Amino acid sequence: MDFSSNVAAQLNAGTILPEGIVIVTLLLVLIVDLIGGRKVALALPYLAIAGLLVSVGLLVTSWSMADPIGFIGAFNGDNLSIIFRAIIALSTVVTILMSVRYVQQTGTSLAEFIAILLTATLGGMFLSAANELVMVFISLEMLSISSYLMTGYMKRDPRSNEAALKYLLIGASSSAIFLYGLSLLYGLSGGETQLVLIAEKLVNADTVGQSLGLAIALVFVIAGIAFKISAVPFHQWTPDVYEGSPTPVVAFLSVGSKAAGFAVAIRLLVTAFGGITDEWHVIFTALAVLSMVLGNVVALAQTSMKRMLAYSSIGQAGFVMIGLVAGSEDGYASMVFYMLIYLFMNLGAFSCIILFTLRTGSDQISDYAGLYHKDPLLTLGLSICLLSLGGIPPLAGFFGKIYIFWAGWQSGLYGLVLLGLVTSVVSIYYYIRVVKMMVVKEPQEMSEVIKNYPAIKWNLPGMRPLQVGIVATLVATSLAGILANPLFNLATDSVVSTKMLQTALQQTGETPAIAISHDLP
């Protein structure tokens, strides 16, 4: 058999079908915009949403595939990757819904914005399923470069320029460090790029001489990943970038990009660094403690809504890291479950603040005072999403947090869980402050902005998608709490049926998590 048919027989190209649909949608958006011009511009968001929904549908049908490994080991479409890819695609759907009006109102072109957003989605989806070092790096760069472009999309705004430049410089140096870590892995394993083979070589090798090299590789790789999930102390870019970027981009960065970061964290750490689980548990414990404390405490002092949500997203990432450190089946399942819920509540909150910004042109928390008297729907949506982010009982966020804390407690991370409880009480304070500002104020205490609140018009072009987005996320956030069982089963199932996690769990048992809990206060 000649070379090409030999390769073609092993490709198993059907594994990347959902991504293929996204690529086709991306090209269609660019070409239709090029040919159709201004007339079809309004239809493009719906085209993109349709493509993404088809992609999600294909992800659902490829659940528990018989042979998830595609492209000779470069791609692994196992169930864990499917659920993360679906989270990223759904976050893009909601982001497009909220960006239609926002982008039009700023006078920038919508087609290119959607195209760049779809590329970022594609990068995130491939990153969640990448099973090889080159693939990890290319998809990470794809996600990062499109994020830089979207951050600087408002060209004439100095805040947007500043945010893009900061993000680009810090991001480029962090990917350089990450690449150095990957190259060390390549060298230590004697020239392997597939994660599974690297793990085999590292386990068989003489570990005494290699431990320093492996530790440096681990630290460098974690530095790259922690930048993506904006864990303290790799978070310095987050507040400025969140404040200066267009708000739909911030929504995508805080959900889609972060989900991709967690997916690659699980895959790299569990497979390639499976031999030194204790070490990365210690590092992630430190990252989780710092993120929860700093994120939630600094959020208290913020006056701008976007900055507050930036710090709150750092704190939320800290909670998710508890699940990663727990290292048990429940730990990983709780991460997936929390990301699913976080998708709806955080995007809901962002849709609401976008609506407020579009109507009033303001982003200050104090300007929300008395909103209830003028716009009850917006008040209701924002209140429910913020209360859910804070973890108030009947809402979805409460169950997500309880599950993470329970998984952590089961693995013996008592200190970490107690700290998580204390910091989530702190977080409830700053979320409730906004809710109180909107609901409790008397009519005479209204802010100037609210006094001049424009009449509610849903029939402006691009307002309907935003309304659909708010209502859908609102329904999902309120129902996901009461009907959490299907989501919960989905999360558990994805972890139980993923081969990579099961082999790792059998090897390590659940002892290392208990061993490091003594380091905590």
Partner 1 sequence: MNLAEGVQYISFLILAFLVIGAALGVVLLSNIVYSAFLLGGVFLSISGIYILLNADFVAAAQVLVYVGAVSVLILFAIMLVNKREDFSKIPGRWLRNVSTALVCTGIFALLSTMVLITPWQINETGPFVENTLVTIGKHFFSDYLLPFELASVLLLMAMVGAIILARRDLIPELSEENKTATALTLPERPRELTSASK
Residues 208-227 that bind partner 1 (CB under 8 A): 209-210, 212-213, 216
Q: Is 38 in the site for partner 1 (CB under 8 A)?
A: no
Rounded to 5°, the CA angle 361-455-91 comes to: 55
CA distances from 228 to 17, 120, 143, 259, 261 (A): 26, 13, 10, 9, 6
Where does this chain touch partner 1 (CB under 8 A) — which range of 53-61, 112-120, 255-263, 405-413?
Answer: 112-120
Q: Among residues 51 and 123, whose Cβ is nearest to partner 1?
A: 123
Member of 139, 271, 427, 494 binding partner 1 (CB under 8 A) = 139
Residues 434-493 that bind partner 1 (CB under 8 A): 448, 454
Member of 28, 32, 65, 106 binding partner 1 (CB under 8 A) = 106
Q: Among residues 89 and 395, whose Cβ is nearest to partner 1?
A: 89
- Closest approach of partner 1 to the CB of residue 211, in Å: 9
Q: Among residues 460 and 479, whose Cβ is nearest to partner 1?
A: 460
Taking the C-alpha atoms of residue 410 and residue 123, their distance in angstroms, rounded to an integer, is 35
- Closest approach of partner 1 to the CB of residue 15, in Å: 10
- Closest approach of partner 1 to the CB of residue 304, in Å: 7
- Closest approach of partner 1 to the CB of residue 213, in Å: 4
H-only helix segments in 69-109: 79-106
Q: Among residues 249 and 513, whose Cβ is nearest to partner 1?
A: 249
List for the chain the helix, strand, coil content (%; round to 5).
80, 0, 15
One-letter amino acid identity for 310? A
Where does this chain touch partner 1 (CB under 8 A) — which range of 111-119, 228-236, 375-383, 463-471?
Answer: 111-119
Q: Among residues 102 and 430, whose Cβ is nearest to partner 1?
A: 102
CA distances from 366 to 312, 369, 436 (A): 18, 6, 11
Q: Is 134 in the site for partner 1 (CB under 8 A)?
A: yes
- Closest approach of partner 1 to the CB of residue 344, in Å: 24
Which residues contact residue 72 at a Cβ distance below 8 angstroms, ignoring those fewer than 6 apart?
Answer: 7, 10, 11
Least Cα distance to 244 among 299, 175, 165, 314 occurs for 165
Q: Is 132 in the site for partner 1 (CB under 8 A)?
A: yes
DSSP 130: B
Member of 50, 112, 282, 380 binding partner 1 (CB under 8 A) = 112
Least Cα distance to 91 among 320, 252, 281 occurs for 252
Q: Among residues 448 and 519, whose Cβ is nearest to partner 1?
A: 448
Q: Is 510 in the site for partner 1 (CB under 8 A)?
A: no
Q: Is 33 in the site for partner 1 (CB under 8 A)?
A: no
213-240 as b/e: b if 16+ CB within 10 A: ebbebbebbbbbbbbbbbbbebbebbbb
Taking the C-alpha atoms of residue 390 and residue 271, their distance in angstroms, rounded to an integer, is 33
Whether 144 and 164 have beta carbons less than 8 Å apart is answered as no
- Closest approach of partner 1 to the CB of residue 428, in Å: 26
Whether 48 and 25 have beta carbons less than 8 Å apart is answered as yes
> Would residue 509 be called left, alpha or beta, if left means φ above 0 and alpha means ψ between -120 and 50 degrees?
left
One-letter amino acid identity for 356? F
- Closest approach of partner 1 to the CB of residue 149, in Å: 4
Binding mask 43-72 for partner 1 (x = CB under 8 A): ---------------------------xxx
- Closest approach of partner 1 to the CB of residue 362, in Å: 6
- Closest approach of partner 1 to the CB of residue 249, in Å: 11
Member of 244, 256, 400, 481 binding partner 1 (CB under 8 A) = 244
Residues 180-209 that bind partner 1 (CB under 8 A): 187-191, 205-206, 209
Give kind and range of the element (H or E) at residue 70.
Answer: strand 69-70
- Closest approach of partner 1 to the CB of residue 465, in Å: 16
Task: Give the three-state DSSP class for 76.
Answer: strand
Residues 260-289 that bind partner 1 (CB under 8 A): none
Q: Among residues 279 and 330, whose Cβ is nearest to partner 1?
A: 279
Structure tokens at 137: 């790096």
Tell how far CA 61 is from the center of its chain.
23
One-letter amino acid identity for 417? V
Q: Among residues 75 and 167, whose Cβ is nearest to partner 1?
A: 75
Q: Is 363 in the site for partner 1 (CB under 8 A)?
A: yes
Member of 54, 105, 293, 520 binding partner 1 (CB under 8 A) = 105
- Closest approach of partner 1 to the CB of residue 251, in Å: 14
